[in-house]
Amino acid sequence: MKAFTRLDALAAPLPLANVDTDQIIPKQFLKTVEREGLSKGLFYDFRFDTEGRERPDFVLNKPEYKGTGVLVTGENFGCGSSREHAPWALMDYGITCVIAPSFADIFYNNCFQNGLLPLVLEADEVQALMEEARGGNHKVSVDLEAQSVISPSGRRFGFQIDAQRKTKMLQGLDAIGETLMAASDIDVYEHKRSLDQPWLDKAPH
């Protein structure tokens, strides 16, 4: 997993509450376990009409938001089914931080496991970021170490984050990476167990 330290990127406003995972990536794009290529399904029904043509009024289809790295959206983002493809699709598109007043629990946890930073700010702070993101300058800075978001106009918003999750994001550690850090201890344990209980190493007949 790629470490997240500081992100300077374009922010796109999506002023919708209760955006569920089927809206983030519809079910027809879940036929793969590969993480690459899922961006084509991201917000598909928002981005395209029934003929597959881009909807020009959707924010990510507007030229000024091409290359968006931060999504600023409404409360309870990521509700619905627990599909891990949702953070995968966002990251494949290039969005590595989502800012909202609240997130659905499973989606929130999945984000941390995949290197996408979900940030919770107060509703009025999110609204302020959205309003600025609609302007001509919509570049924001997200500093995980300092736990702050700097708006296009220079306003600074602090955020809270679990200390362990913060450390894992800064070091680029998912659950597997965290386990591998204890590889030497695991080897010692396995060796001792083999000496103390050798019958467990025998293959079953």
Domain residue ranges of the chain, discontinuous segments joined by + = 6-172
**How far apart, in Å, are the Cα atoms of 126 and each of 23, 48, 175, 191, 197?**
21, 26, 30, 53, 57
Q: Please give the chain's pLDDT, 205 residues, in tens.
A: 889 999 999 999 999 999 999 999 999 998 877 778 999 999 999 999 999 999 999 999 999 999 999 999 999 999 998 889 999 999 999 999 999 999 999 999 999 999 999 999 999 999 999 999 998 889 999 999 999 999 999 999 999 999 999 999 999 876 555 555 555 666 666 657 676 677 667 755 5
Q: Token digits for 25?
A: 């990536």
Q: Please measure the distance between the N-terminal and C-terminal CA atoms of the chain and give it in whole angstroms.
A: 40
pTM of the model: 0.85
Instruction: Answer for the pair 86, 106: CB distance below 8 angstroms, yes or no.
Output: no
Q: What topology is assigned to 6-172 in CATH? A: Aconitase; domain 4 (3.20.19)
Handedness of CA 72, 117, 79, 94 (dihedral sign): positive
Tokens 């984000």: give the residue.
111
